[in-house]
Amino acid sequence: MKKGNLIIKNANELVTCSGFKAKAGVEMSDLHLIFNGAVVIEEGIIKAVGATEEILNNYDENDYEVIDASGKAVLPGFVDSHTHFVFGGNRAEEFSWRLRGDSYMEIMQRGGGIVNSVRATAEASKEELFKIGLKRLNSMLSFGVTTVEGKSGYGLDYDTEIKQLEVMNELEKVHPIEIAKTFLGAHAVPKEYKGREDEFIDFIIEKVLPTVVERDLAEFCDIFCEKNVFTVEQSRRLLNKAKELGMKTKIHADEIVQLGGAELAAEIGAVSADHLLQASDKGIADMAKAKVVATLLPCTAFSLKEEFARGRYMIDKGCAVALATDFNPGSCFTESIPLVIALAALHMNMSIEEIITALTINGAAAIDRADKIGSIDIGKQGDIIILENPSYKFLPYHIGVSIVEKVIKKGQLVFDKEK
């Protein structure tokens, strides 16, 4: 029996999320369900999907490892398409200040925030970052995440930015979770560049970006486009340069202030625009037209005590919405998929079908991998989760608790709650 040869049979609900590209608007509601379904995986790739009886007529169970999913729902693995999971130190003290009433931007303005994590990340050795990264990936896996996006951005200098990306590249070699790497060198303005933001963008473009591209350390380039951080013009300049060098782009857009980040994402053809708490109606319309995935991060809004992004409105206006954790040391220190689901369901008026689409096929689209992962379709990777309950409807119902029982990556069982 070859590695990654597996049959999952008798799934009460096989939630395929079938599709090879982002789903926009009403398309997000169709999960393409098969009752009493089965999946055949060979050498890590999905070979057949259908009703159990039909599948077992065509495939001999003796040639495969077999998981009986009777009484369980089976879904594609979750794709957490926006995180900053490799960093040193913590900002627990700052969190306590926020509980006292200080705002995220106030803390940043007085020299705390992201630059605090920058210091701790520079001080951490590669081995330390690797060790903590591994622990975080294990936690994500237990929530059913089979692919994660991870950003640099706690370096803001050559050595530490490269170190963060190298750590992610090394983590991927030893951990089942696949990592989409994003270069976020323009995440904050380092102290020595305050008031000289254009020069900092020049530094990123001239000194760091070329190495990232030459060594193929990241697939995406991202920037924190925000009042008192980087302007729309600075963001346009960096991202267009990254595109010229063959990278794909993302933007931290319209998070705190309505700056025009959503419009910029549409203009430059970014793969995704993320946060969007303050995105304008025009920005949303532009994104729908340009097919930019709107990646919403409800745990961040929750943690910052801000209004949630207008997910319902975006879907109604024809956007493809993805949901992600935004796991990071400052604005949102959680890798909890159950919390994302709870907030999207109870505070963003998204249906559970839309939420599942946002965490699977649209999450995959947000990292430009909808052709390989994000659904249970023939030819895609065998990345699958099995819930401990018979229906996907238990996901928002069991509030804040993970009901993922088994995780399968490329046809291999990599997490089992029962063991």
Ligand X SMILES: N=CN[C@@H](CCC(=O)O)C(=O)O
Per the annotation, where are the binding residues for Zn(2+)?
Answer: 82, 84, 252, 326
Known binding-site residue numbers for Fe(3+)? 82, 84, 252, 326
* Residues 90-119, mask of contacts with ligand X (x by CB under 6 A): -----------------------xx--x--
CA 366 – CA 387 distance, rounded (Å): 24
Structure tokens at 373: 């992962």
What residue is closest to ligand X based on CB?
330
Q: Exposed e or buried b for every residue in 205-236, given b needs 16+ CB within 10 A? A: beebbeebbeeebbbbbbbbbbeebbbbebbb
Contacts of 116 (CB under 8 A, 6+ apart): 89, 91, 94, 330
Q: Which of 13, 255, 377, 383 binds ligand X (CB under 6 A)?
A: 255
Is residue 222 close enough to count as binding ligand X by CB under 6 A? no
CA 80 – CA 385 distance, rounded (Å): 14
Select 14 or 256, whichever has its Cβ closest to ligand X.
256
CA 30 – CA 364 distance, rounded (Å): 16
CA 391 – CA 36 distance, rounded (Å): 11
In whole angstroms, how close is the CB of 169 to ligand X at the nearest point? 21
Select 72 or 252, whichever has its Cβ closest to ligand X.
252
Is residue 252 close enough to count as binding ligand X by CB under 6 A? yes
Q: Which of 330, 374, 382, 411 binds ligand X (CB under 6 A)?
A: 330
87 with 113: CB under 8 angstroms? Answer: no
Write the DSSP assignment of 78-102 as a string of letters. Answer: EEE--------S--HHHHHHHHHT-
Is residue 161 close enough to count as binding ligand X by CB under 6 A? no
Is residue 329 close enough to count as binding ligand X by CB under 6 A? yes
Stretch that binds ligand X, among 34-42, 159-167, 236-244, 323-331 (CB under 6 A): 323-331
Known binding-site residue numbers for N-formimidoyl-L-glutamate? 154, 328, 330
In whole angstroms, how close is the CB of 315 to ligand X at the nearest point? 22
Stretch that binds ligand X, among 28-36, 95-103, 309-317, 322-330 (CB under 6 A): 322-330
CA 144 – CA 337 distance, rounded (Å): 8
CA 248 – CA 362 distance, rounded (Å): 17
CA 344 – CA 157 distance, rounded (Å): 36
Q: What is the CA radius of gyration of the chain?
A: 21
Known binding-site residue numbers for 4-imidazolone-5-propanoate? 91, 154, 187, 255, 331
Is residue 331 close enough to count as binding ligand X by CB under 6 A? yes
Is residue 81 close enough to count as binding ligand X by CB under 6 A? no
In whole angstroms, how close is the CB of 123 to ligand X at the nearest point? 16
In whole angstroms, how close is the CB of 277 to ligand X at the nearest point? 10
Select 40 or 180, whichever has its Cβ closest to ligand X.
180
Pairing of β 6-15 and β 78-80: unpaired
Stretch that binds ligand X, among 208-216, 327-335, 395-403, 408-416 (CB under 6 A): 327-335
In whole angstroms, how close is the CB of 106 to ligand X at the nearest point? 13
CA 220 – CA 165 distance, rounded (Å): 12
Is residue 183 close enough to count as binding ligand X by CB under 6 A? no
CA 258 → CA 227, 262, 282, distances in Å? 9, 9, 11
* Residues 113-152, mask of contacts with ligand X (x by CB under 6 A): xx--x-----------------------------------
In whole angstroms, how close is the CB of 331 to ligand X at the nearest point? 4
Q: Which of residues 272-301 bind ligand X (CB under 6 A)?
A: 300
Contacts of 378 (CB under 8 A, 6+ apart): 46, 47, 48, 49
Q: Which residues bind ligand X (CB under 6 A)?
A: 84, 113-114, 117, 224, 252, 255, 300, 326, 328-332
